[in-house]
Each structure stands twice: as structure tokens, then as C-alpha cells.
Structure 1
Amino acid sequence: MRHLGLAGFLFAFWLVLSGHYTPMLVAAGAVSAVLCVLAMIRGRVADAEGFPIELLSGAVTYFPWLLREIAKSAWAVTKIILHPNLPISPTMTVVRASQRTSTGVATYANSITLTPGTITVGVNGSELTVHALVSEGALDLEGGAMDRRVSQFEGRA
């Protein structure tokens, strides 16, 4: 089922990028998608981590939340940069990821990095070393709200 979903996703992506819907080109796109999946199966890269279809339901609520967090953080960082005194307090902190899979930990680390003012500088197992522009950003991460949202996205609410 995962391989069929991957082929369908690749075909839909091809259709969107192509913009041409003649029968020959649509058939070429379908054949290309199937051949790509077959090559991925043969190369042993078409696994659960490469196409995590089980995360689709969680993505419906997670990505809008993440976009909102990115916008809020971008506004806060903009205010800091434009402030005449530039009130920064760079901080390094270590947060523990409660996700159960490497995909979940990577999602958590990338979500931290996507949020302006914070960046994941290292991952050691389930411990993430994070640099924050202001100490409030580090305290917010230590509070665990993002960790809980990523765990919910991963299906572990």
C-alpha cells in the first residue's frame, strides 16, 4: 500500500509540475512514477521513513500550527532586531525529544530550526542542543509545547 501511495504522490506531483494533460503525457507521467517506485524498491530506499504515509492525518493540524509559530517567532525576532537597544540574550540549552522514531526526532529538530530565533545545533540520541536568540525562546522550548505537538503529529498524543 505504501508503494502504491508513493507512486500516486509522484504521479500527482508530476501532473502539477507538468501542466500538460494530453493522454500521451499523462501516460508517460504514470509510467515514470511507477518506474521511480520500482527503482526505489530495488535500491531499498522506499521505506516507512522515506514516505511516512501514516503521518498524513497529523499533518493536517501540525503544519498550520507550525506556520503560525513561525510567523509569531518571525514577528518577535523582527521586533528585537528593530529595537534600538537590540535586547538579545543568546542562550544554549538542551531539550529532550520524546518522539519514538528518528523521523519524529528529525521533525522536532527541524521545527525548532524553522522557527526564527532558534536553531538546533546538535542531536545526540533524543537530546537536542538548541541555540536561542533570547532566553525566552529557550524557556519556551524547555516548556515542551513544541515537543508535545510533534509527538501528537507523530501519532503519540
Structure 2
Amino acid sequence: MRLPIRSRAAKGLLRPDRQQAGGSMAKAIGLSVALFALWLTLSGFFKPFLLMLGVLSCLLTLYLAFRMKLLDDEAVPIQLRPALLLYWGWLGGEIFKSAMAVSKIILAREMALQQQLIAVPVTQKTDMGHVIFANSITLTPGTVTVETRPGLFLVHALTESAADADGFAEMGRRVAEIEAR
């Protein structure tokens, strides 16, 4: 026997949908702001007509994402914002230091390569945390995440110093902090 919609609403059974709608609205706003910021950065146009076209293209993209049911925590991770910005700053410094080390090896008369594959333990609990950690390893010059398995990544390191377990542990800890916030 079906209950009429009014009786379900009166009993408060529709509240979770309202909460999801609020979260979905926050994700939609976050995605639209991010899309417009990206559009503005890549185009560099500040003329009113072109700004209007940029807003319209972002709204169309947002509409399509909504229709495709893509506004979830994985697609629009608004919970990661503040901590992720700090992490990007730290990661940028690590990428620079690693790039300098790899450049020294490449420019040396005899390249001192000590390539190795190492298993890096993964402590992140979400798929987003795994992706951030694996991509951070790959973005750092001299290391590439080759394979992912439950609980560990297989990483190719160009040198012995790039295969430093403490460096991977620090990176993993920082990514886990982003996840926790």
C-alpha cells in the first residue's frame, strides 16, 4: 500500500532529500565558480559580451553535469578546498627540489642512475585520497606511480634518493590530513 506524498512529507521522510539538495547546491555553486575562474584564466577576456558568453558556457556545463548526475563528492570535492591549497604549495616546493635533483643527474657527464621499483604503503581511506597521493608521486620528477594495489602503490624511482621511504611517508601523511578535514 502506497502512502500519499503529503503523508510522507508530513512524517518528515523527505528531509534527507532536502539535505542532499543543499549539499548539491553547494557543489553546483563551487563547480560553477571554479569553471568560470578557469574560463577567465584561460581566455583573459574582460569585455562584457565575452564575459556573458563565458558565464553561459559555464552554466551550460553545470546543467549538463547536473543532468548526468555528476555533482557528487568525487567530481566536486568542496570539502578539500582549504587544506588542498596548502598541500599544493608544499607539493610545488617538493616538485621544484626534485626537478633540481633530476636536472643535476641529467646534466652530469656520467648519469648516476640507480633505478628501482619500490612498494609504497597507502594509508588514505578514500578514492580521492588515493588519486591525490598517486598523482603527487607521479608529478614529482624522478618518480612514477606504476601500479596501484589495495594498500600499496608500486613506484619507479630514478635514483636512490628519490626512493626515500621517509619522503613518501611525509607525502602520504599530508594527503591523509587533507582527507581528514
Match of 2:138 among 93, 105, 113: 113
Encode CA deviations 1:51-99: one digit per residue, 9 max, x unaligned: 2111110122111111111111111112222333322211111111111
In the alignment, which residue of structure 1 is the partner of 2:93?
Answer: 68
What residue in structure 2 maps to residue 132 of structure 1? 157
Q: Considering only aligned residues, what root-mean-square deviation do their CA atoms show, in Å?
A: 2.0
Q: Which residue of 2 aligns with 1:58?
A: 83
Q: Does 79-88 or 128-137 show the bigger shift?
A: 79-88
> Which SS does the other structure have where 1:46 is aligned?
coil
| 1:143, distance to aligned residue in structure 2 (A) | 5.6
Q: Which residue of 1 aligns with 2:67?
A: 42
Structure-2 change in CA distance of 1:32 and 1:84 (3 Å) = closer
SS in 1 for 2:156: strand
1:12-46: CA deviations, max 9, x gaps? 32233343334443333323222211111111222
Residues 111-157 of structure 1: CA distance to partner in whole angstroms, max 9, x if unpaired? 1111111111001123100011112222335761111111122236x
One-letter amino acid of the structure 1 residue matched with residue 103 of structure 2:
T
Percent of residue pairs identical:
40
Q: Is the 8 A contact 1:105 1:126 kept in 2?
A: no
Unmatched runs of 5 consecutive residues or more in structure 2? 1-25
Give TM-score scaled by structure 2 length: 0.77
For residues 1-157 of structure 1, what are the structure 2 equivalents within 5 Å?
Answer: 1-140=26-165, 144-155=169-180
- Shifted more, 26-35 versus 120-129: the winner is 26-35
Tell me the distance in 1 between the aligned counterparts of 2:100 and 2:165.
16
Q: Which runs of 5+ in 1 are unaligned?
A: none
Per the alignment, do residues 34 and 143 of structure 1 end up closer, same or farther by CA in structure 2, a change over 3 Å counting?
closer
- For 1:97 and 1:109, locate their aligned partners in 2 and report how far apart those are by CA, in whole Å: 9
Q: Give the stretch that moved more between structures: 132-141 or 85-94.
A: 132-141
Q: Shift in Å at residue 100 of structure 1?
A: 1.2
CA distance 1:95–1:135, shift in 2 (3 Å): same
The more displaced of 25-34 and 69-78 is 25-34
**Separation in 2 of the partners of 1:31 and 1:82?**
49
The two structures have a TM-score, normalised by structure 1, of 0.87
Question: Taking structure 1 as reference, are residues 143 and 12 closer, same or farther at Cα in structure 2, changes over 3 Å only?
Answer: closer
